[in-house]
Amino acid sequence: MTRSARQRPALPVTARSVALQVLLDCHRHTAFAQELLDHQLHQVALSPADRRLTTQLVYGVLRRRGTLDALLQPLIRRPMAQVEIWLWEALRLGAYQLVLLTHIPPHAALNETVELANQIGRDSAKGFLNGVLRALARLITDDRAPVGGADAIPLEDGGFRRLAQPILPDPHDDPLGYLGAAYSLPRWLLERWNDRRGIDECQRLGAWYLRPAPLWLRSNPLRIERAQLLHVLNEAGLAAQPGTHPQSVRLQDSIPVRELPGFAEGWFTVQDETAMQVASALAPTPGMKVLDLCAAPGGKTTHLAELMGNKGSILACDVDDRRLRLIRDLTHRLGISTIQTRRLHPQRGEELPPHSFDAVLVDVPCSNTGVLARRPEARWRLKPTDLPHLVKLQKELLHRACACVRPGGSVLYSTCSIESEENQEVVQSLLAERSDFTLEASAESSPGLPADGGFWARLRRRNPLLVSPPTSHEAAVQV
């Protein structure tokens, strides 16, 4: 066998075959799983139930990949590198259904997964798939365990499913090894968090990141008041509650967004409550001239426009034409007319007009360690060597943003990371080099309390026309 999947024929359309296709796409593309999933679901005709199952399978396998591999590897005699990529993903699909999806009968999970080999023209792999998954099924019991252990798999509801024999590392002898296998996180990341946050916080983060991220909506005040949106959702039988942000709504269940009442009318957009704090922290007002330097896919950009009452101008920049189209589509649905998009070509060294914006948002590319429940694939793509490169880019983007803001204007730096190198240290580096900027406020959100993790800092450019610069806001606010 070879690891290449390039000659693989198109899969017949079932929930599992589409899920397998998306998982394989994740190996070949740097796009987030949500974008790849949306693309595939737009290409096929699946029932609403099958679309939900496809989504559950994709996110479940990505979220629990470390756990699934820990269970599968002892059952496979050949090295992982000698198993084709599609075959590993098919094994993970089957294992996820057998171990973690209680609403799918084991025989259906096994048979439907083995059938994938037929569907892609690899009949010879059916015996291998069948044998490994049947061996795994014998390891799974229906018993619950009160606490985690080498023979207990954590579940989304906080409980543990007991195994017929110990498979995972012993939590007493190797606590980080256990957390990595049980909660499906890379060991290097756990070691990093353990040094900075302690083992209890590592376990809390692991438990949060093995659950699906909650669904938050941001009501669009240009179209509807939050109270009215809550009423419409609850009247439709959807359990919806207001969040702490004045526009936030939390849904108890994950529902396909396009099936929600008010989607086509632009009453809301999907955005985590932590992300909503970013545009609010910049505090734009109607009539301002605002730059969003890293704008795609447009969640924070459109929030700026809503806060400005759709009055003023916003220039939304990004390096990807395709992602800029997402902004234009979103602005059209939300009824926003004040956003213009512009592609920046990084190789051409293009410059934006200096000192010409009242406010600048720079939501930089980052490690995504604050949003691993929402972007589960990021935990497997991120490597320790990536952080220095990300920090270098973040510093460059922050300096570029600062060059664009007028004297007296503000710059809002934000990430969806919980790593201090990407957050506080980038801001302190800028302040050490730019005496014309002061730090007005900052905030760090911890994952799961109650939403995503992230960081923002608002900087103010001193106005030389003032006799003395304001100093009352220079202390950072940490939450």
Which residue ranges make up each domain of the chain?
15-168, 215-270, 273-461
pLDDT for 408-433, tens place per residue?
999 999 999 999 999 999 999 999 99
Give the architecture-level CATH label for domain 215-270.
2-Layer Sandwich (3.30)
Helix axis angle for 48-63 and 85-100, nearest 10°, is 100
- Which pLDDT does position 339 carry in this prediction? 98
- Which pLDDT does position 94 carry in this prediction? 97
Choose, from 317, 366, 404, 416, the residue flagged as catalytic: 416
**Phi, psi for residue 247 in degrees, rounded to 5:** -110, -5
Structure tokens at 336: 């926003």
- Which pLDDT does position 347 carry in this prediction? 65
| Residue 172 to residue 338: CA distance in whole angstroms | 57
**DSSP summary character for residue 82:** G
pLDDT band, very low/low/confident/very high, at 466 (cuts 50, 70, 90): low
pLDDT for 267-288, tens place per residue?
999 999 999 999 999 999 999 9
pLDDT band, very low/low/confident/very high, at 469 (cuts 50, 70, 90): very low
pLDDT for 52-81, tens place per residue?
999 999 999 999 999 999 999 999 988 888
Within 10 angstroms of residue 181's Cβ, the number of other Cβ atoms is 23
CA distances from 45 to 13, 22, 90 (A): 8, 15, 21
**Which CATH number is associated with domain 273-461?**
3.40.50.150
* Of 3 and 313, the one with more pLDDT: 313
- Asked if residue 297 has a cis previous peptide bond (ω within 30° of 0), the answer is yes
Residue 4: pLDDT over 50? no
pLDDT for 92-126, tens place per residue?
999 999 999 988 899 999 999 999 998 877 888 99
- Which pLDDT does position 475 carry in this prediction? 41
Residue 23: pLDDT over 50? yes
pLDDT band, very low/low/confident/very high, at 464 (cuts 50, 70, 90): confident
- Which amino acid appears at position 138 of this protein? R
Within 10 angstroms of residue 251's Cβ, the number of other Cβ atoms is 18
Helix, strand, coil percent content, the chain, rounded in steps of 5: 45, 15, 40
- Which pLDDT does position 103 carry in this prediction? 87
Mean pLDDT on 368-383: 96
Residue 143: pLDDT over 80? yes
For the chain, the average pLDDT equals 92
- Which pLDDT does position 244 carry in this prediction? 96
pLDDT for 209-229, tens place per residue?
999 999 999 999 999 999 999
pLDDT for 386-409, tens place per residue?
999 999 999 999 999 999 999 999
Instruction: Provide long-range contacts, Cβ within 8 A and 24+ apart, for 133-138.
Output: 133/91, 133/94, 133/95, 133/98, 133/109, 134/110, 135/75, 136/71, 136/72, 136/75, 136/94, 136/95, 136/98, 136/99, 137/98, 137/106, 137/110, 138/164
- Which pLDDT does position 218 carry in this prediction? 98
- Which pLDDT does position 467 carry in this prediction? 45
Residue 478: pLDDT over 70? no
- Which pLDDT does position 352 carry in this prediction? 87
| Residue 265 to residue 53: CA distance in whole angstroms | 27
Catalytic site includes residue 416: yes
Which CATH superfamily does the domain covering 15-168 fall into?
A: NusB-like (1.10.940.10)
pLDDT band, very low/low/confident/very high, at 170 (cuts 50, 70, 90): very high
| Residue 476 to residue 438: CA distance in whole angstroms | 10
Residue whose C-alpha is closest to residue 65's, from 186, 147, 146: 186
pLDDT band, very low/low/confident/very high, at 154 (cuts 50, 70, 90): very high
- Which pLDDT does position 473 carry in this prediction? 41
